[in-house]
Amino acid sequence: MSHYKSNLRDLEFNLFEALHIQDYLGEEPFAGFDRANAMDMLREVDRLAREDFAASFIDADRIPLELKDGEVVLPDSLKASLDALFDGGWHLLGIPPEMGGFGAPDALRWAGGELLLGANPTAYLYNSGILIARVIADVGTPDQAEKWAQPMVDRRWGGTMVLTEPEAGSDVGAGTTRAIHIEGSTYHLEGVKRFITSGEGDYYENIIHLVLARRDGAEPGTKGLSMFIVPKFHLNEDGTLGEHNGVYTTKIEKKMGIKGSTTCELTFGVEEPAIGYLVGDVHDGIRQMFKVLEDARMLVGVKSAATLSTGYLNALEYAQERVQSTDLAEMADKSAPRVPIVRHPDVRRMLMMQKAHAEGMRALFLYTGKVQDQVRIDPSEPYWAKLDDMLLPMIKGYCSEKGYELLAQSLQVFGGSGYTQDYPIEQYLRDAKIDTLYEGTTAIQSLDLFFRKIVRDQGQTLVRFSESILDTIKGGREELAAERQMLGTALEDVQEHIGVLVAHSMASMQDPPEIYKTGLHTNSLLESLSEVVIGWLLIRHAEIAIEALDAADEGDRAFYEGKIASARFFSRHALPKTKLRRQAAENEDGSLMDLPVEAV
């Protein structure tokens, strides 16, 4: 049996009952889609995920990868999973029609992404060439789109984003990789990059690296970085593969999780020139790379949500089958029968905590997918792009942190059995930890949210978005009056939390160390704001579920009752924490940063 347990019903609910994406299907830019064929696609991706894609989940973890003579041979089962993805054309879901793809709405694309990422995140990471192709087609020259991007789609080439250097880490602007101008858009690159996902693998005919490097004489920091197309193999005039370029994998990391994903050290220009081509013929590397980075950050958040969802569903199944101890209400009766552990209060609490958050994270990233669709439908309205920018650090930061935290509760439901490889939870945990680290740590996401997406924007996007939350708070079903009140209180806490951090930031203009008081509480702001947004979405879902209950059949009735329960549980167990975080920010004296390093 597959380890992966999907939640296709909740995906359908989000897309069509809550978000109503069918209202813009059938019209440009999504003229080729309607509700029926969108669901047909999701059902087939769901089947692919549970069967072919999930089949190599264990092998990808337990068959060691080795670097020999610059090459890495992937397990046959992993290649078979990738064949199923590519042969079915499902890698084309988000590729525009002019490049041979389906041009699916982003909400639908991310729904499919959840299924595949939940089934086998390691395998899905080898599909990154599609993103690189889209970016080259978007910001490259027409010639670069034809020469590099289109073959990546047609010939299943790999692709990487190459930022990190051993001494620079997340401080991308401190990178020292050189780009030496030869002629036109051609450069020679020299340097070493680290932690490059899918940087090597024998599944690919070719790999296209998008590399940040600094040309001689460029200004310091991120603004001086340019982006280059650096192929593993050169191309001949007729499009066939030529000689190996001067970029080589010189190390692969031995990791805690996602072990079947080649995380590489790449060395440029040692034995022979590493030829790169300036993307778009312009020196605008960091802005161009953010096209890749933003999609990758969204993917990480979806991966976290997907893993928590299957972790929860595995734990739920186990709790329904595992019989142990008597019901707590019958403990005095020594003859009382043993019951499934789902009957025990603490197990029930852990399961509902996982359920509410898994559904809430799904609601968050699919709502953001609809926002991304609005960017394409109405590009003249800047609000949608700004809202997408504001939601992205929440998806990446909150989902990765909370997903990892709650997967530990998925394991806890299994007891000692969860710590073994008899069940998939221990691998879920190991595979999920990376999500809080790569594509920008949680601290980076929180600083981005506060300083760039709120302060720099003067709060305009947040204020406009909050109006939608206030509309829900002000009116709705009487059955959810208490939950709406809790949401209103939490929103006020977040607004006051922001005010405190803004005050500290302004004070730092005269007294620089005051900024530490802000930095100590941006993570907690990200957490609180994310939970307000999720709480709002879950309450909206509960409103829909209450309306739908009367006409629901037996199976759907249980589903809708579960949606109501999730909203109520989240409102009572997550939203009150916003007050504690706000109070902590208000009470901050900054003394932690005055503590001698030796005492930390």
**Residues 257 and 434 sit within 8 Å (Cβ to Cβ):** yes
Check whether residue 395 and residue 269 sit in a common domain. no
Region 415-423: what's the mean pLDDT?
Answer: 96
Contacts of 564 (CB under 8 A, 6+ apart): 479, 542, 545, 546
Where is the domain boundary, 381, 404, 436? 436
Check whether residue 533 and residue 455 sit in a common domain. yes
**144 within a domain of the structure (yes/no):** no
**590 within a domain of the structure (yes/no):** yes
Residue closest to 39 by CA, chosen among 116, 104, 121? 104
Domain total for the chain?
4
Helix ranges restricted to H, 450-480 = 460-474
Gap between the Cα atoms of 481 and 475, Å rounded: 8
**539 within a domain of the structure (yes/no):** yes
Strand positions, DSSP E, 119-232: 158-162, 178-183, 186-197, 207-215, 225-231
Check whether residue 380 and residue 494 sit in a common domain. no
Gap between the Cα atoms of 398 and 404, Å rounded: 10
The CATH number covering residue 291 comes to 1.20.140.10
pLDDT digits (tens, 9 = 90+) for 8-44: 999 999 999 999 999 999 999 999 999 999 999 999 9
| pLDDT tier at 334, thresholds 50, 70, 90 | confident
Backbone angles phi, psi at 219, to 5 degrees: -65, 155
pLDDT at 343 over 90: yes
pLDDT at 550: 87
The CATH number covering residue 19 comes to 1.10.540.10
Helix ranges restricted to H, 322-424 = 345-377, 382-414
Gap between the Cα atoms of 114 and 234, Å rounded: 35
**Residues 290 and 279 sit within 8 Å (Cβ to Cβ):** no
**139 within a domain of the structure (yes/no):** no
pLDDT at 473 over 80: yes
Check whether residue 448 and residue 586 sit in a common domain. yes
**248 within a domain of the structure (yes/no):** yes
Region 365-391: what's the mean pLDDT?
Answer: 97
The CATH number covering residue 189 comes to 2.40.110.20
Check whether residue 315 and residue 231 sit in a common domain. no
Q: State the residue for tokens 């905590």.
A: 353
pLDDT digits (tens, 9 = 90+) for 69-92: 889 999 999 999 999 999 999 999
Whole-angstrom CA distances from 56 to 76, 80, 155, 471, 493 are 9, 8, 22, 46, 46
Backbone angles phi, psi at 179, to 5 degrees: -120, 110
Where is the domain boundary, 436, 451, 466? 436
Q: What is the DSSP string of 333-357?
A: -TTPPEEEGGGSHHHHHHHHHHHHH
The rounded radius of gyration (Å) of the Cα atoms in the chain is 25
pLDDT at 1 over 80: no
Where is the domain boundary, 387, 411, 436? 436
pLDDT digits (tens, 9 = 90+) for 521-553: 999 999 999 999 999 999 999 999 999 998 998
Check whether residue 192 and residue 308 sit in a common domain. no
pLDDT at 187: 98
Check whether residue 581 and residue 552 sit in a common domain. yes
pLDDT at 297: 96
Q: Residue 20's domain spans which residues?
A: 8-127
pLDDT at 176: 92
Residues with catalytic annotation?
439
Check whether residue 277 and residue 372 sit in a common domain. no
**510 within a domain of the structure (yes/no):** yes
Element (DSSP H or E) covering residue 106: helix 106-119
**268 within a domain of the structure (yes/no):** yes
pLDDT at 171: 85
Check whether residue 426 and residue 463 sit in a common domain. no
Q: Exposure of 28 by Cβ count < 10 A (0-12 exposed, 13-18 middle, 19+ buried)?
A: exposed
Tell me the average pLDDT of the chain. Answer: 96
**Residues 299 and 112 sit within 8 Å (Cβ to Cβ):** no
Check whether residue 291 and residue 388 sit in a common domain. yes
Secondary structure class of 252 (helix, strand, coil):
strand
| Other beta carbons less than 10 A from residue 505's beta carbon | 17
Gap between the Cα atoms of 540 and 401, Å rounded: 24
Peptide bond into 29 cis (omega under 30): yes
**140 within a domain of the structure (yes/no):** no
Residue closest to 382 by CA, chosen among 450, 455, 464? 464
